[in-house]
Amino acid sequence: MQSHELLREVFQKCSPKLVAAELGLSLSMIYKWAEPGEPTAGSGSTNPLDRIDALLRCTNDLRIVQWLCQRAGGFFIRNPKTTNPHPSYLIPATNEIVQEFADLLAVVATAAADNQISPKESHQIRARWEELKAVTETFVACCEEGNFRLLREKPIAAVATRSRSPEAGTEARRLDVQ
């Protein structure tokens, strides 16, 4: 879908007059955003979505998208590029997801043990959650495409390590796939 097509759909639900008033722009400018850009015909206008896309391309900084997603109440996870299917790596990948979830639960349980969550503990929970989402999204995307090259690139040898977490003060088990 092109940006102008999306904006056209958005303006079906949200009045262009309201958008113009909120942004302090002319109504004609808002309507131009919903037209395909054709510089020779004089129609369309570089809309905010196209500008954000250009900003991403020139900076190559995903924090822009992460910030937008966070403002919208969500999160951003990059889709993995996958080629060359190899399903024999499904078991280690599945184990990695289960271990990431277990790690998240351990951090949550440790943080909640005193019936309160400190800002530092909240940060640790968020970090584990982000890691779980990324690992799971990679696995799901590979499943959807039937292509497990990305999973295969990680050697099967999984080494369980035990380390003492200085922040939580508990022993944490983590499965490191190397």
pTM above 0.85, yes or no: no
Q: Is the pLDDT of residue 104 over 80?
A: yes
Closest CA to 108 of 123, 94, 96, 95: 123
Q: Is the pLDDT of residue 64 over 70?
A: yes
Q: What are phi and psi of 124, to 5 degrees?
A: -65, -40
Say what the pLDDT of residue 154 is: 53
Question: With pLDDT > 70 as the criterion, what percentage of the chain qualifies?
Answer: 72
Residues 6+ apart with CB under 8 A from 132: 97, 100, 101, 103, 104
Question: With pLDDT > 90 as the criterion, what percentage of the chain qualifies?
Answer: 45
Over range 111-138, report the average pLDDT. Answer: 90
Q: Which of 83-92, 111-120, 131-140, 169-178 has the lowest mean pLDDT?
A: 169-178
Q: Is the pLDDT of residue 168 over 50?
A: no
* 13-23 confidence digits (pLDDT tens): 999 999 999 99
Q: Are 62 and 79 in contact (CB under 8 A)?
A: no
Question: pLDDT band for position 87 (50/70/90)?
Answer: low
Q: What are phi and psi of 62, to 5 degrees?
A: -70, -10
Q: Are 105 and 131 in contact (CB under 8 A)?
A: no
DSSP-derived letter for residue 78 is P
Q: Is the pLDDT of residue 102 over 70?
A: yes
Axis-axis angle for helices 119-145, 90-112 (nearest 10): 160
